[in-house]
Amino acid sequence: MRTKATELVGIDVPIFAFSHCRDVVAAVTNAGGLGVLGAVAHSPEQLAIDLDWIEAEVGAKPYGIDLLVPEKFVGAEEGGFDRTALQGLLPDAHKEWVDDLLERYGVPPLPEGLGGGRGLGGMRVDPKSMAPLLDVCFDHRPRLLASALGPPPAHFLERAHAADVPVAALAGTVEHAAKHAAAGADLIVAQGTEAGGHTGLIATMVLVPAVVDAVGPTPVLAAGGIASGRQLAAGMALGADGAWCGSVWLTTEEAETPPAIKAKFLAAGPGDTVRSRSMTGKPARMLRTAWTDEWERADGPGPLPMPIQPLLIGPAMARIGRVADKAGTGANDLATYFIGQVVGSLDTVKPTRRVVLEMVEEFIDAVERLGGFLTED
């Protein structure tokens, strides 16, 4: 399968797989697609470890890295605050509300000496904390770098292009896509509202062809609601050069998805997600649970801006995750994670390679079926 997107990064099938799990990234790349590691919560040290591991697993095959550098965030005017300064911006009322929430649901504190680890509380979304991650990226050999929020900054583009690394940018509106292309992005990901994680309000079916028309000849990937070959074919019929997929990998055998969350995903329907600011401070689609409902309460404090919200809730998420699969607390009721509306079709745990191959086979069947509608009359 040859498209502008596959030729840009040197892959065999137009499947770009976003995952926080290095095993999934390597498995997709080895199956012919492009695994893209979500590195926003990595420390520089952990990112180096994971990239070394991926490169050992995939050999000379290409892979990508996704970073999250929004244009607007608390402290943007100062170039970003360090963690100590950000901690000082956490309102006492919010901290008390979160503590009360966990107490009401019977979620125990973390054992003494046990930190929250990486994850939401460790998100790096500003120039100061992103710079060391970029250094690690360019010490390795990714074939794609993705900017997940806002137009790719000029310094980011210049450094990537100097290293001959294409840059992708995610967009939820035609206007944002046009800004990304004008800034110099080499690949636009048109992400519909069906998608998991940070997403806008426009459906994939409407967004993709409009973005294709607006940014051509820059190649476009369809994203949002794509977990099968039929959906891949639909995206490419709309003018895309491939698909950017995230949710489908969360229930694979290799995924690091916690067992309690994976079980929720396998049981969920397409209507069981919601766009909420409760995790990152920006609207992101995730599984609707007691956590998202609590943050929507009229008498609640309301989410804080990025990156203060993830810093606020990072310890709470660690407490919830530690006991979410144990009886006797309400942690399982609160547990949630980013997932798209396609969760309703994710009802079986499969190896990542099998998911890729099934998507390709179904894509071929879908294209042949469409071809069968044409007649010579």
The pTM for the full model equals 0.92
Q: Are 173 and 199 in contact (CB under 8 A)?
A: no
Interval 206-234: pLDDT, tens = 999 999 999 999 999 999 999 999 999 99
Helix (H, G, I), strand (E, B) or coil at 282: coil
The C-alpha angle 38, 43, 45, rounded to 5 degrees, equals 110
**218 token code pair:** 């820059």
| Nearest CA among 95, 105, 101, 96 for reference residue 333 | 105
Would you state the pLDDT for residue 84? 64
Give the integer Cα–Cα distance in Å for 69 and 14.
25
- Contact call for residues 55 and 67 (beta carbons, < 8 A): no
What average pLDDT score do residues 257-265 get? 96
Q: Distance from CA of residue 184 to its chain's centroid?
A: 22
Which pLDDT band holds residue 80 (cuts at 50, 70, 90)?
low
CA distance 168 to 185: 6
What's the distance, CA 241 to chain centroid? Answer: 19
Longest dimension (CA), the chain: 77
Sheet with 273-276: list strands edge to edge: 197-198, 284-287, 273-276
Lowest mean pLDDT of 133-142, 148-157, 240-249, 325-334, name the range.
148-157
pLDDT in tens, 339-356: 999 999 999 999 999 999
Q: Is the pLDDT of residue 328 over 90?
A: no
DSSP notation for 77-131: GGT---HHHHHTTS-HHHHHHHHHHHHHTTPPPPPTT----SSGGG---SHHHHH
The lowest-confidence range among 69-83, 178-192, 273-287 is 69-83
* pLDDT recorded at residue 216: 95
Q: What is the pLDDT of residue 161?
A: 97
Evaluate the omega torsion of the peptide bond into residue 283 and state whether it is cis, within 30 degrees of 0.
Answer: no
Q: H/E element holding 24? A: helix 22-30
Asked if residue 282 has pLDDT above 50, the reply is: yes
Hey, how many other C-beta atoms are within 10 angstroms of the C-beta on 328?
A: 8
Task: Residue 1: name the closest of 248, 205, 232, 244 by CA.
Answer: 232
pLDDT digits (tens, 9 = 90+) for 147-199: 887 888 888 899 999 999 999 999 999 999 999 999 999 999 999 999 999 99
Cα R_g (the chain), whole angstroms: 20
pLDDT per position as a tens digit, 6-42: 999 999 999 999 999 999 999 999 999 999 999 988 9
Structural domain boundaries of the chain?
A: 4-371
pLDDT of amino acid 155: 86
Question: Under 8 Å CB-to-CB from 154, ≥6 apart: which residues?
Answer: 183, 184
- Whole-number mean pLDDT of the chain? 92
Q: How confident is the model at residue 116 (pLDDT cuts 50, 70, 90)?
A: low
Q: Identify the pLDDT of residue 148.
A: 81
Homologous superfamily of domain range 4-371: Aldolase class I (3.20.20.70)
Strand, helix or coil for residue 100: helix
